[in-house]
Amino acid sequence: MTGTAFTHAEFTAAVGKVQAAARSYYDTGEVLMTDADYDALLDRIAAAKAAYPEWDDHGVTTRVAAGVSGGGDVLHPVPMMSLSKVTGEDEVRGFIAGLGGDACLVEVKLDGLAIRVEYDAGRLVLAALRGDGSTGENVTAQVLRGVTGLPARLGTAWTGEVRGEIYMSVDDFETAGANRVAAGGKAFINSRGAVAGSIRSVDRTYETPMTFAAYDLSGEFTSHRERMAYAAELGFLVAGRLATGEVQFAADADAALAAIARIGDLRRDLDFPIDGAVLTADLEATRRRLGAGSRTPYWAAAFKYPADTGSTVLRDIEVRVGRTGRIALRAVLDPVFVDGTTITYATLHNPKFVEDQGFAIGQTVAVWRAGDVIPRVTSPIGEQPHGLTPWTPPETCPQCGEPWDKSSLLWRCHTASCAAANALEYWCSREAMDVEGAGEALCVALVNSGLATDVADLYTLTEAQLAELPVGTTKAGGVVLLGKLNAAKVVASLERSKSQPFNRVITGLGVRMTGRSVGRWLAARFKTMDALRAATVEQIAEIDKMGLIKAQHVVDGLAAMTGVIDRLAAAGVTMSVPDTEGDKPLDGKTYVVSGSVPGFTRTTVSERIEQLGGRASGSVSANTTALVTAETTTAKAKKAAQLGIPIIDPAEFADMLAG
């Protein structure tokens, strides 16, 4: 329905919906709509209002904080405004042009709540939320419980006002949510909702850590940078310095666009939530000259990145046992587009969390992507259909049928059979030996039947044995056997796996705390299994990024598997890297591959680069030799262009690797 014009009745309904969402958001912290849905609806209301000025929007499009239920008891001596949005390159250029040649600063737009704090002779005396922009709620007592970056007492007897954003870092959010759930409450949907829900509750019995960063300070200064330097001196965290250390200074539109791209690029790695970049004039003279409208200043604007929270329907919860025996709950979702990717699976913390939230299949849930790449389901959202029954986790391990060890929040299965099946499954997985047809069902069946208890046993299996293996049940309860055809495929695939490169063999052994990268590092450094087994913890730890703890795990893990490794070697599994001395055309070169390279997977392309003497890295830096990508508009591509690093077309790169 997006984009179509409203009828009057739809308009009125939409206004009501926005008001209800805003009211519940500010009053209880409960989220009825995601920010993106809220903004989109508000945009449509504004468009309709422009076409039919006589329609009554109850002020939701004009008030500073649209639809908010009301201000509070604290009057803001200077109104707390919002920022107008700029979307796309042209509007950014337009905004910069409006500055009349003066420089602008580009900083993160923190995703929290605006707050104003007064100090008297160095003591924090008042903290007030933005409210409706003219008056806001007094939250002094809550703030005095402790907010990082907002000292109750400054080192200097400063008197004045600081403005900024109060927000939750990713860690703050995890802690606050866990504390709230432990106290019998609901989890928060994302960190902004969490701040909104926590900051106004006076009688909270649980702690909700929060952080403050400043973007304005009272007093006479000639530039914003000077103002913020003084804020830092007083002991405040400064918004403009959070992501990049120093605030990004942009002399022209190209520089501003590059700075916006840089923040967008960093966004995934930041440990605090942002929803955009703020462009602001640096010089006070420029700010004074441009002035402000009723809701927004003309000297600043917000560039919004795609929303990091989406809402979608929970279709299923899969229960699996991880490599280490821990329960893993995976939500199966209706596909939803969040921050540039389509998400169909997300993690769901632990069984207690799922029970506490009362998640039910068929329910609408919020999916949040922040700080890392694994999206998570954070909370039910909006109105829920009636008659759904909350999902309950199975009491027993789905692989071996034994009861879980529930002594920690992440339940575990310790049975030897499960440990064995998980080890087989990991060895056969795509990131290790890539044995086709050897998934969970087959590996569990192999262990249950006694045909295989470790990975070396796999290479003794015959087609006849495999064909008779029960791997499932029919609807009517009959047994499904693997069958001759599948058995032949598995045996052929196992045979092929013997010539997988050495690094995959190391990875497949499944040593704790190691994965694909460690397999590659160890193969590149030690070349043969004999040399690797002879290596000391110190020698292994010398590998860049390895560290002593992982190195110790490698030594212990290999020692524990001596017998298995010997039998694998006897079966003909690769135990060394081929001797390619003198054939290292990529020696000293570092490539960043973004997107796919024809004929390679993400793993095999890194393997090939390293085989040819080069390094494969994930992020573009001054040390990068070239970026391999077909995209020219991504943040990585822009960063490469900025650093003068060449971009190689994936097809061309595939030829390079082949030759």
Nearest to 224 by CA among 237, 236, 240, 243: 240
Among 137, 165, 457, 610, binds ligand IVH (CB under 6 A): 165
Distance in angstroms (rounded) separating the CA atoms of residues 139 and 122: 18
Q: Give whole-number Cα distances, 549 to 20, 520, 546, 561, in Å.
A: 52, 18, 8, 18
Tell me which amino acid residue 126 is: L
**Piece of 33-41, 102-110, 121-129, 360-368 that binds ligand IVH (CB under 6 A):** 102-110
Residues 467-503: b if buried by 16+ CB within 10 A, e if exposed: bebebeeeeeeeeeebeeebbebbbebbeebeebbbb
Tell me if 134 contacts ligand IVH by CB under 6 A: no
**Shortest gap between Cβ of 242 and ligand IVH (angstroms)?**
9
Interacting positions 342-401 with ligand IVH (CB under 6 A): none
Distance in angstroms (rounded) separating the CA atoms of residues 504 and 573: 11
Q: Please identify, using beta-carbon distances, which residue of 82 and 617 lies nearer to ligand IVH.
A: 82
Nearest to 178 by CA among 143, 326, 170: 170
Helix 516-526 to helix 602-611 angle (10° resolution) is: 20
Of all residues in this chain, which one has the CB nearest to ligand IVH in the complex?
114
Among 92, 196, 239, 283, binds ligand IVH (CB under 6 A): 239
Tell me if 597 contacts ligand IVH by CB under 6 A: no
**Piece of 79-87, 140-148, 189-197, 336-344 that binds ligand IVH (CB under 6 A):** 79-87
Q: Please identify, using beta-carbon distances, which residue of 161 and 405 lies nearer to ligand IVH.
A: 161
Count the alpha carbons within 13 Å of 502 in the hemisphere toward its beta carbon: 21
Among 81, 428, 455, 546, binds ligand IVH (CB under 6 A): 81
Phi, psi for residue 120 in degrees, rounded to 5? -125, 115
Q: Which two tokens stand for residue 348?
A: 């769901």
Among 83, 435, 441, 455, binds ligand IVH (CB under 6 A): 83
Helix 170-182 to helix 191-199 angle (10° resolution) is: 60
Q: Please identify, using beta-carbon distances, which residue of 29 and 375 lies nearer to ligand IVH.
A: 29
**Piece of 104-112, 356-364, 555-563, 607-615 that binds ligand IVH (CB under 6 A):** 104-112
**Shortest gap between Cβ of 218 and ligand IVH (angstroms)?**
14
Neighbours of 623 (CB within 10 A): 11
**Piece of 7-15, 81-89, 153-161, 406-414 that binds ligand IVH (CB under 6 A):** 81-89
**Shortest gap between Cβ of 153 and ligand IVH (angstroms)?**
25
Among 21, 110, 181, 654, binds ligand IVH (CB under 6 A): 110
Distance in angstroms (rounded) separating the CA atoms of residues 531 and 1: 64
Phi, psi for residue 318 in degrees, rounded to 5? -95, 135
Among 188, 215, 404, 502, binds ligand IVH (CB under 6 A): 215
Distance in angstroms (rounded) separating the CA atoms of residues 202 and 621: 47
Tell me if 48 contacts ligand IVH by CB under 6 A: no
Q: Which residue has the tokens 């008779």?
A: 468
Tell me if 625 contacts ligand IVH by CB under 6 A: no
**Shortest gap between Cβ of 113 and ligand IVH (angstroms)?**
7
Which uninterrupted H or E stretch holds 490? helix 484-497
- Interface with ligand IVH: number of residues (CB under 6 A): 15
Q: Which residue has the tokens 């009362």?
A: 358
Distance in angstroms (rounded) separating the CA atoms of residues 204 and 501: 57
Q: Which two tokens stand for residue 363?
A: 């329910």
Distance of alpha carbon 563 from its chain centroid, rounded? 40
Distance in angstroms (rounded) separating the CA atoms of residues 445 and 509: 20
**Piece of 93-101, 109-117, 230-238, 374-382 that binds ligand IVH (CB under 6 A):** 109-117
**Shortest gap between Cβ of 96 and ligand IVH (angstroms)?**
17
**Piece of 75-83, 194-202, 457-465, 543-551 that binds ligand IVH (CB under 6 A):** 75-83
Residues assigned a catalytic role: 109
Which uninterrupted H or E stretch holds 503? helix 502-508
Tell me if 283 contacts ligand IVH by CB under 6 A: no
Tell me if 456 contacts ligand IVH by CB under 6 A: no
**Shortest gap between Cβ of 270 and ligand IVH (angstroms)?**
13
**Piece of 25-33, 78-86, 227-235, 257-265 that binds ligand IVH (CB under 6 A):** 78-86
Tell me if 79 contacts ligand IVH by CB under 6 A: no
Q: Please identify, using beta-carbon distances, which residue of 136 and 501 lies nearer to ligand IVH.
A: 136
Tell me if 82 contacts ligand IVH by CB under 6 A: yes
Among 30, 107, 172, 457, binds ligand IVH (CB under 6 A): 107
Q: Are the beta carbons of 116 and 128 closer than 8 angstroms?
A: yes
Q: Which two tokens stand for residue 384?
A: 């829920």
Q: Which residue has the tokens 């070349």?
A: 527
**Shortest gap between Cβ of 18 and ligand IVH (angstroms)?**
16
**Shortest gap between Cβ of 224 and ligand IVH (angstroms)?**
9
Q: Per-residue string for binding with ligand IVH, 294-313, x by CB under 6 A?
A: ---x--x-x-----------
Ordered alpha helix ranges (H), 509-546: 516-526, 529-534, 537-541
Q: Please identify, using beta-carbon distances, which residue of 215 and 600 lies nearer to ligand IVH.
A: 215
Distance in angstroms (rounded) separating the CA atoms of residues 371 and 174: 12
Q: Please identify, using beta-carbon distances, which residue of 109 and 553 lies nearer to ligand IVH.
A: 109
Q: Please identify, using beta-carbon distances, which residue of 115 and 327 lies nearer to ligand IVH.
A: 115
Tell me if 627 contacts ligand IVH by CB under 6 A: no
Q: Please identify, using beta-carbon distances, which residue of 297 and 515 lies nearer to ligand IVH.
A: 297
In the three-class reduction of DSSP (H, G, I as helix; E, B as strand; rest coil), residue 576 is classed as strand
Q: Please identify, using beta-carbon distances, which residue of 300 and 647 lies nearer to ligand IVH.
A: 300
Distance in angstroms (rounded) separating the CA atoms of residues 201 and 332: 34
Neighbours of 153 (CB within 10 A): 12
In the three-class reduction of DSSP (H, G, I as helix; E, B as strand; rest coil), residue 252 is classed as coil
Q: Please identify, using beta-carbon distances, which residue of 108 and 443 lies nearer to ligand IVH.
A: 108
Tell me if 74 contacts ligand IVH by CB under 6 A: no
**Shortest gap between Cβ of 185 and ligand IVH (angstroms)?**
26
Q: Are the beta carbons of 301 and 276 closer than 8 angstroms?
A: no
Q: Beta strands 135-136 and 113-120: pairing type?
A: unpaired
Binding site for ligand IVH (CB under 6 A): 81-83, 107-110, 114, 165, 215, 239, 278, 297, 300, 302
